[in-house]
Structure 1
Amino acid sequence: MANRRRKPARTRKNGRFSKKRSKPQQLVIHEEQVIRPPDLASGSRFKGYRDTVVQDLLLESRNTRYRLECWQTPEGQFVSGQLPPEVDGHFGPHLQATVKYLHHHSRIPQPLLREMLLEWGIDISVGQIDALLTGQQARFQLEKEELLRAGLEVSPAITVDDTGHCHQGQNGYTTHIGNDDFAWFASTAHKNRLNFLTLLRAGETQRTITLEGLAYMQQQGLPQELIERLATHEVQDFADETAWQAHLAALGIDKERHQRIASEGIQCGCLLQNDLWRRLVIVSDDAGQFHVPGLLHALCWVHSERLIHKLIPLNEPHRQAQALVRGQLWELYRDLKQYAMAPDATQKSALGTRFDAIFTQKTDFATLNNLLKRLYRNKAELLQVLDYPQTPLHTNGSERDIREQVIRKKISGGTRSDLGRQCRDTFLSLKKTCRKLGISFWQYLLDRTKGTNTIPPLPELIRQRAAARLVP
């Protein structure tokens, strides 16, 4: 009888059948052992092998003594051999990468990390662990900052979110900016619009007063007299925040509100000088700091529906009205997703008409009617996808990414030094971006620590991924 091809096993998962992953995978075999059956009977015939692959993990210390030769030249100078560049003090690259991986990926606090390393035979102190985590981080920090520049440069849209963060005993905030290609985090003391605009500039400190910036100041209610002082002064360019604040003081703009509006205006004006901000959409949960006049803004449908879901109906007609509206909303949401994949002018008009019908209807639930009326005022932002089809309809990606910061806060409370806070933001950004790009974070750390650089810079991979999507 001909051998039949064995079908993959099917297992039940979440009420549905799914194909079971085939085993074993294509693994590298490091050692091979042949095992004969015990008490083999005389006259038995050899019929080949039945292979079984067993995976194991070796955790042990490995110490190397480097004997640096010392010589004296004919001129009397003393010279000696040098340690390999990947060695950091008394610790090799594998240990450096392991410490970073366990702390930043597995969220193991430093005291527990030291206890683990001591049990593995590594002679190390808490101070040395801290030095491995925070020392020589400039290369990682530079790559992290370039992530945001590359992501903004090639992305049609970004999602944003923030969460609380404790630093040196004071409440602060961590902001997330990203999409399916990258994730970028920054922890600051404030969560206002000025802070968000500063982050969007991706480290650029140069400031220039522009017509767009002056228009923003006027729209936000800055007195016309102060706007004219800024517009007519001979100095229009400023190297950094210090120079800008000195200029405001020299012009007599000393009220906190006036300084804030002027600072927001000059940052917004500088952003709008770059054409990318005229086509890049910011998707948020409707938090005020993320809604910047002049920049394209879209709202998360999931957050909008959540407001309807949280309403408490008082009777059966209320419950029926709530269920009806939620069903209509999710049906429209699904059709908007279909539209984004294949935009059509006729469908665009029909979707806009359906939106009007849903959010202007009258039900027996007065509270629901008021909420629909309020959401209807956000029509342009909820339907931004009709004009920019690559706009996400939700901020779920940002919420998933920033949940890591919430978990870390529960484990270790907060950060105690500015360098520690910077390292947390840096490696959280790199870790999440590696995951989005399909790169092993462990292999990335090992590659960078050894200095082999076989993995291209992550910003370069982001640009390559965006370029590949443009190829028909």
Structure 2
Amino acid sequence: MTQTAPAEKLMTVLLQSIDPKEIADESLRQTIELLLNLIEQLNSKVKDLVEENQKLRDENNRLKGEQGKPDIKANKNIGFQNDHSSEKERKVPTKHSKSSKNATIKVDREEIDQTGARVGGVNHTTNIICNPLYTVYLTTKNKDRLSVLKVLQNVTALEFILNEFTYELLDTLNLPTKWNKQLKELLPQETVFTEIEFNALLDEYLSKLSFQYRTRVQEAAAIAFYHQQTNIPLIKALVCDDAPQFKLLTADLALCWVHEARHYKKLSPFVACHRQSLDEFLDDFWKYYRKLLAYRDFSSQDKSWELREEFWTLFSTVSGYEQLDERKRLTAAKISELLLVLDHPELPLHNNPAELAARTMVQRRNISYATQTTEGTKAWDIFMSLVSITRKLEISFFEYMRDRISQIGNIPSLRTIIRGKSVLNPFGWSWMPE
């Protein structure tokens, strides 16, 4: 043991000192890069196996009536393993000066995020929808696309329609042609169905449809109805993370750059040259982010093209660190969602307001744990929404509640106040009526 330890230390030191970029011979450099990436893969697998093994040990001990390994937090996080926040890199230090929060509001989009909830001991999901003038909390049983669609329409039951847009969506959702054909031939077209009616038709005419494909049909038909209804304004763009349940609901989707950065923060390179590559990339990532921020204030067609070219350069340049390069390829595939701001500069680059609103709900959940009934959950959502909305509108929540309970009527409805403030601020593309 004493003889092998110095040898292992020497190998580690040697490994951390290797930099393939300094190797002149191309064939040798490629071989070294291949070996270093293999080491990264094996190191990652070892970490996963160690964690899984420890979980199995803990569960085995629990079944025996013993205790598992104590969860003792380290004094300081090292590297990117646990600290996935990007607030330090995202923010540009500025001199603090207090001013009106609503002076330059641009109401032009909805930001959405989800957080876990418990109702009567059963897992639920709280959806948060917000913009600069309001924040709304709505708790649902599921976190899927149909549940989000209910939230956007503020309904408890969806309506469905089979039309041309439905089949466009089904093509995007990869529904096999034979099911598309049967939907067109066997079910009424251009007819609005309730949830019960539509499910009954699927049971009768497409009983062999698998659960996955049935869900896709329901999603497409529900989204198509949402886009053709006229009872409520359509939301043109959502600002959110990359969760699949938010996709296809609106005409456009803007992805959060802060969430995208978390994918890179989760990388934990073992080799020194790979750590350096990741550090250099993250520096370039946030420099580019700040250029997008500057573009929102001073946009131009020439600058738009320049930023698009720089995007491709940033996310297509090969570093030699395979895990980083693969992550960059995945980001590059989201160019339309990440660079929607170049076409519509009023859009934000992140959905932090929704994240902060979700954090408020999490804090409330930690204090009160959970609700027990549907009625209690609805009351919780309503009061959380009222507190958030009155704060954004700079209205005292206490005065608002006193006005409503006493029926004095000095404070107009929140809807009236929101519409009034919206008129005083310039609208962006995503809030312009059809």
Quick check: 1:214–1:231 contact (8 Å CA) kept in 2? Answer: no
CA distance in 2, matches of 1:383, 1:471: 20
TM score, norm. by length of structure 1: 0.64
User: Is 1:388 matched with 2:344?
Assistant: yes
The corresponding residue for 2:184 is 231
Cα 1:450–1:372, aligned 2, differ >3 Å: closer, same or farther? Answer: same
- In the other structure, the counterpart of 1:357 is 313
Q: Is the 8 A contact 2:119 2:377 kept in 1?
A: yes
Alpha-carbon distance in structure 2 between the residues aligned to 1:186 and 1:445: 20
Which residue identity is paired with 1:194? Answer: L
SS in structure 2 at match of 1:174: strand
Q: 1:460 maps to which residue? A: 416
Give 1:301's aligned amino acid.
W
With normalisation by structure 2, the TM-score equals 0.69
Aligned to 1:374: 330
Q: More deviation in 313-322 or 440-449?
A: 313-322
Whole-angstrom distance in 2 between the partners of 1:182 and 1:406: 19
SS of equivalent to 1:191: coil
Shift of residue 365 of structure 1? 2.6
Greater displacement, 246-255 / 409-418 = 246-255
1:172 aligns with 2:124: yes
**Aligned residue number for residue 45 of structure 2:** none
2:113 to 149, 161, 164: 161
Change (3 A) 1:437 1:170: same
SS at match of 1:466: helix
SS in 1 for 2:127: strand
Q: Deviations over 1:416-437 (max 9, x none)?
A: 1110011111111111111111
Q: Is residue 257 from structure 1 mapped to residue 212 from structure 2 by the alignment? A: yes
Q: Which has the higher contact order (CA 8 A, sep 6+)?
A: 2
Corresponding position of 2:296: 340
2:110 aligns to what SS in structure 1? strand
SS in 2 for 1:470: coil
Q: In the alignment, what sits opposite 1:215? A: 168
Alignment of 1:48-447 (within 5 A): 155-203=107-155, 205-232=158-185, 233-234=187-188, 236-238=190-192, 240-253=194-207, 255-273=210-228, 280-292=236-248, 295-447=251-403
Shift of 1:18: 6.8
CA distance 1:350–1:436, shift in 2 (3 Å): same
Contact 2:108 2:427 in 1 (8 A): no
Q: d(CA) in 2 for partners of 1:394 and 1:186?
A: 21
Provide closer, same or farther for how the CA distance between residues 277 and 320 of structure 1 changes in structure 2, counting only shifts above 3 A.
farther
Distance in 1 between residues matched to 2:321 and 2:405, nearest whole Å: 61
Return 329-338 or 290-299, whichever deviates more: 290-299
SS at match of 2:424: helix
From the two aligned structures, give the one with the greater helix fraction.
2
| 1:279/1:296 contact within 8 Å kept | no
Q: Which has the larger radius of gyration?
A: 1
1:469 is paired with a residue of what secondary structure?
coil
Structure-2 change in CA distance of 1:235 and 1:19 (3 Å) = closer
- SS, match of residue 260 in structure 2: helix
Where 2:126 maps in the other structure, the secondary structure is strand
**Native 8 Å contact 1:278 1:296 kept in 2:** no
Provide the rounded CA distance (Å) in 2 between the counterparts of 1:215 and 1:471. Answer: 30
CA distance in 1, matches of 2:331, 2:189: 44
Structure 2: runs of 5+ lacking an equivalent: 1-92, 100-105, 429-434
Q: Find the counterpart in structure 2 of residue 98 from structure 1.
A: none
Q: Is the 8 A contact 1:185 1:426 kept in 2?
A: yes
Q: Kindly report the root-mean-square deviation, in angstroms, between the aligned alpha carbons of the 2 structures.
A: 2.8
The equivalent of 2:42 in structure 1 is none
Distance 1:214 1:237 in 2: 14
Cα deviation per residue 1:360-399 (whole Å; 9 max; x = unaligned)? 1122433212211211111111111011212110111001
Quick one: distance in 1 between partners of 2:153 and 2:172? Answer: 21
**1:280 Cα deviation (Å)?**
1.9
Deviation at 1:309, TM superposition (A): 2.2
Whole-angstrom distance in 1 between the partners of 2:307 and 2:285: 11
The 3 A distance-change label for structure 1 pair 364 and 471 is closer
What SS does structure 2 have at the residue aligned with 1:304?
Answer: helix
SS in 2 for 1:159: strand
Structure 1's unaligned 5+ residue stretches are 1-14, 22-153
- The one-letter code sitting in structure 2 at the alignment partner of 1:220 is L
CA contact (8 A) 1:156 1:279 kept: no
Q: Higher mean Cα deviation, 197-206 or 240-249?
A: 197-206
CA distance in 2 between partners of 1:327 and 1:170 (Å): 43
Q: Deviation at 1:202?
A: 2.8
Looking at structure 2, the residues matched to 279 and 435 of structure 1 have their Cα atoms a distance apart, in angstroms, of 23
Contact 1:317 1:364 in 2 (8 A): no
Q: Residue 425 of structure 1: SS of its match in structure 2?
A: helix
How far apart in 1 are the matches of 2:268 and 2:251?
Answer: 35
Aligned position for 1:103: none
- Provide the C-alpha distance between the structure 2 equivalents of 1:16 and 1:384, rounded to a whole number of angstroms: 26
SS at match of 1:321: helix
- Structure 2 Cα separation of the partners of residues 240 and 397 of structure 1: 34
Give a deviation string over 1:187-220, Cα, whole Å, max 9, x none: 1111111211222223284433221112212332
State the 1:294 CA deviation: 6.2
The secondary structure found in structure 1 opposite 2:425 is: helix
Q: What secondary structure is seen at the aligned counterpart in 2 of 1:400?
A: helix
* One-letter code aligned to 1:228: K
Deviation at 1:466, TM superposition (A): 1.8
Query: How many residues are paired up?
Result: 326
Contact 1:277–1:295 (CA<8 Å) still a contact in 2?
Answer: no
Query: Could you tell me which residue of structure 1 aligns to residue 40 of structure 2?
Result: none
- The residue type paired with residue 211 of structure 2 is E
